[in-house]
Amino acid sequence: MSKVIAVISGKGGVGKTTTTANIGLGIAMQMKQCVVVDFDIGQRNLDMILGLENRVVYDMVQVMDGEAALDQALIRSKANRNLHFLPASQTKDKSVLESAKIKQLLDELKKKFEYVILDAPAGIESGFEHTIEFADSAIVVVNPEVSSIRDSDRAIGILDSKSQLVKDGKEVEKKLIINRFDPDMVEKGEMLDSDDILEILGIELLGIVPEDKGVIDASNQGQPIIMNEKSQAGKAYKRISKRICGNKTPIVKPKASKGGIMGRLKGIFS
Amino acid sequence: MKCRQYNVKIFEIGLDDPNSFRDFIDANLVLIKNHLLSLKGTLDETTKEFLDERGLKYVCNMELPLPGRGVNEFCLTKSDESSDSKAEESSSVITDEEPEEFKMDPLKIVKGPLRSGQYIQHNGDVLSTDRINSGAKIAAMGSVVALGKVDGDISSAGDCIIITPTKKGNILFHGTRIDGEKLIFPLNLIRFEGDDIVIKPISKKEFN
């Protein structure tokens, strides 16, 4: 049965689009048919992170308006044949979205794909509300900082009041990804620990992605970090993708380094 | 010298029509009984006696140092019942009934976490069993019992607030801000003793 998952955060710049690209590819690597949909109308970015920007011809707004067929707008990923991408319109704004058209589009996508991943825009305005409206579940992406957590908390509150599932008396499943986690900073007391974040937000943890400088370069190259076998962030996204697909992969919490060159040498000989 | 700073809620009301004024006061007594009234117009003897009988505190024709913000207007006519004021949605501010006694709404229980942006305004007592996160708010005309961690705002005009320790929360009891540093007990009881606000420990056993 097909599942629609909205990737939300409330705050911008926490790695929502990067997460969408990586888990989309990760799910495809699990041999599941997956589509990632960019709902950030007017601020399209997912195409670049997937390295597909030069292949965009039609967008989701044109599909919803009947100007293009869904198959014309869908782009197959170069990295994995199981992954498809539906781009947002770059020339229109969020006001073009209509509930009925979105539902129709998602119903069509659900017929074709096992996983439909929606990349929500930042903020809690109409674009966000349309993204969560017909989602079966949500992945909340936070950075370990208070402003990100408060904005996510706000986004969860809106999800719990405005999604169609809630209006139908059901519950929207919500899972948390803590992104850009730096265990060294946590150890120094400079960053919130994952337990603190979980206590505040009160939702289930899906995974912790460590801070990894390679993520920016990977995004710039259009090759999601999950393709890098050595990257810790890439490994974290792989584990997260497996969990989304129902595999019982244990959650790995990044550990602090042992401090400096001497500490690392001690670590090697201990 | 002892100096205290208070946040006082003031209701500014016109005295153009004394009968309507008295009706309004009686209808909204529960809302305004613990606040200062700033009256504009001529205060006749009958109205003065009316206010004194109800123990209301008021000033007449005083120029208040209002910065021009945070002012809510309450209307007297029935046609204005559809006002979009949130206070009027949750507590029947305007009524045709003669209020013989204060009518508080039943206890409101908030079971899940109160998240940022969520706002509970209740004309009665509120019991919160979970967290009150930063950016969330409870404003109650009655008492508030908060058993989870409080990082948000609580305002109570009731008999007491029972609350866990908090340094981030903004706690107002009858308009007076409670210093989080003084909430040192696992469960703190905030209430009046005479004119003073006191904070005492309360054991969970006692609470049960």
**Within-domain flag for B2:** no
What's the pLDDT tens digit per position in A102-117? 999 999 999 999 999 9
Is B121 found in the same domain as B32?
A: no
Domain presence at residue B31: yes
- Residue B204: pLDDT band (50, 70, 90) is low
Residue B143 sits in a domain whose CATH number is 2.160.20.70
CB contact under 8 A, B117 and A200: no
Q: Which of B32, B58, B90 is the last residue of a domain?
A: B90
Residues ≥6 apart with Cβ < 8 Å to B83: B75
Could you give the count of Cα atoms lying within 13 Å of A109 in the half-sphere of its Cβ? 29
Chain A residue nearest residue B134, CA to CA: A150
Question: Does residue B138 belong to any structural domain of this protein?
Answer: yes
Residue of A nearest to B131 (CA): A200
Same structural domain, B125 and B46:
no
d(CA B74, CA B94): 9
Using CB atoms, pick whichever of A150, A157, A199 lies closest to residue B134: A150
Q: Residues of A with CB below 8 A from B117's CB?
A: 153-154, 157-158
What integer is the mean pLDDT of B33-56? Answer: 88
| Chain A contact for B133 (CB, 8 A cutoff) | yes
Residues B196, B110 within the same domain: yes
Asked if the structure places residue B4 within a domain, the reply is no
- Give domain status of residue B54, yes or no: yes
Instruction: Give the Cα-Cα-Cα angle A178, A181, A182 (nearest 5 degrees).
Output: 165
Whether the Cβ atoms of residue B121 and residue B86 lie closer than 8 Å to each other: yes
Among the listed residues A35, A25, A174, the one whose alpha carbon sits nearest the alpha carbon of residue A114: A35
Does A191 or B28 have the greater pLDDT score?
A: A191
Asked if the model's pLDDT at residue B92 lies above 50, the reply is no
State yes or no: pLDDT of A268 exceeds 80. Answer: no
CA gap A31, B111 in Å, rounded? 41
CA distance B87 to chain A (A): 20
Residues B56 and B141 in one domain: no
* Portion of chain B with pLDDT greater than 90, in percent: 45
Instruction: Tell me what percent of the residues of chain A surpass a pLDDT of 70.
Output: 95
B135 CB neighbours in chain A (<8 A) are: 150, 153-154
More confident residue, B208 or A203: A203
- Check whether residue B61 and residue B114 sit in a common domain: no
Asked if residue B90 has pLDDT above 70, the reply is no
What are the two backbone dihedrals, phi and then psi, of residue B22, each rounded to the nearest 5 degrees?
-65, -40
Mean pLDDT of the residues in chain B: 80
Q: Same domain for B178 and B123?
A: yes
The pLDDT of residue B88 is above 50: no
Indicate the average pLDDT of chain A.
93
Mean pLDDT in residue range A97-103: 93
Counting the structural domains of chain B, the total is 2
Distance from C-alpha of B80 to C-alpha of B78, rounded to nearest angstrom: 5
Residue B191 distance to chain A (closest CA, Å): 28
**Beta strands B170-173 and B153-156: pairing type?**
parallel
The answer to whether A157 faces chain B, any CB pair under 8 Å, is yes
Residue A258 has pLDDT above 90, yes or no: no
| A34 near B CB under 8 A | no
Tell me, what amino acid is at A175? K
Phi, psi of A170 (to 5 degrees): -105, 180
What lies within 8 Å, CB to CB, of A14 at 6+ separation is A141, A142, A143, A148, A179, A180
Q: Which of A248, A241, A243, A233 is nearest to A28 (CA)?
A: A241
In sequence order, what E strands does chain B have? 10-14, 36-40, 57-60, 105-110, 119-122, 124-128, 137-140, 144-146, 153-156, 160-163, 170-173, 176-178, 188-193, 196-201
Distances (CA, A) of A106 to A70, A89, A102, A116, A177: 11, 16, 6, 8, 24
Give percent above pLDDT 70 in chain B.
77
Q: Scanning every residue of chain A, which has its alpha carbon at the shortest distance from the alpha carbon of B132?
A: A200
Q: Are residues B140 and B176 in the same domain?
A: yes
pLDDT recorded at residue B202: 86
Domains and CATH numbers, chain A: 3-269 (3.40.50.300)
Same domain membership, residue B70 and residue B113:
no
pLDDT, one tens digit per residue, over A169-220 is 999 999 999 999 999 999 999 999 999 999 999 999 999 999 999 999 999 9
How many angstroms separate the first and last alpha carbons of chain B? 41
Contact check, Cβ <8 Å, A150/B135: yes
Chain B residue with the nearest C-alpha to that of A197: B133
- B65 and B130 assigned to the same domain: no
Whole-number pLDDT of residue A93:
74
On chain B, the residues whose CB falls within 8 A of the CB of A200 are 131, 133, 151
Minimal CA separation from A125 to chain B, in Å: 14
A155 CB-near residues (< 8 Å, 6+ apart): A8, A9, A10, A124, A128, A140
Q: Which of A52-61, A231-240, B27-36 has the lowest mean pLDDT?
A: B27-36
Chain A residues inside the 8 Å CB shell of B151? 200
- Please tell me the distance in Å from A237's CA to the nearest CA on chain B: 28
Q: Which long-range contacts (CB under 8 A, 24 or more apart) does A28-32 make?
A: A28/A77, A28/A79, A28/A80, A28/A81, A28/A82, A28/A83, A29/A80, A29/A82, A29/A226, A29/A238, A29/A241, A30/A241, A30/A242, A30/A245, A30/A247, A31/A82, A32/A82, A32/A114, A32/A115, A32/A245
Q: Looking at B90, B122, B150, which one is the last position of a domain?
A: B90
Decide if B1 is inside a domain.
Answer: no
Q: B204 or A174: which carries more pLDDT confidence?
A: A174
Does residue B99 fall inside a structural domain?
no
Q: What is the CATH number of the domain that holds B16?
A: 3.40.50
Give the end of a domain, one of B90, B124, B152. B90
Say whether pLDDT at A21 is over 90: yes
A145-153 mean pLDDT: 96
Q: What is the token pair recorded at A196?
A: 């603190």
Give the pLDDT confidence score for residue A267 in this predicted structure: 53
Residue B68 shares a structural domain with residue B109: no
**B124 and B197 assigned to the same domain:** yes
Q: Does B112 touch chain A (CB under 8 A)?
A: yes
Q: How does A57-78 read in b/e, with b if 16+ C-beta sit within 10 Å? A: ebbbbbbbeeebebeebbbebe
> Is the separation of the CB atoms in A138 and A175 below 8 Å?
yes
pLDDT tops 50 at residue A133:
yes
Backbone conformation region of residue A219, classed left if phi is above 0, alpha if psi is from -120 to 50, else beta? alpha
Mean pLDDT value across residues A256-270: 61
Domain of residue B195 covers 105-207
Q: B200 and B109 in one domain?
A: yes
* Residues of A in Cβ contact (< 8 Å) with B118: 157
Size of interface A-B (CB pairs under 8 A): 32
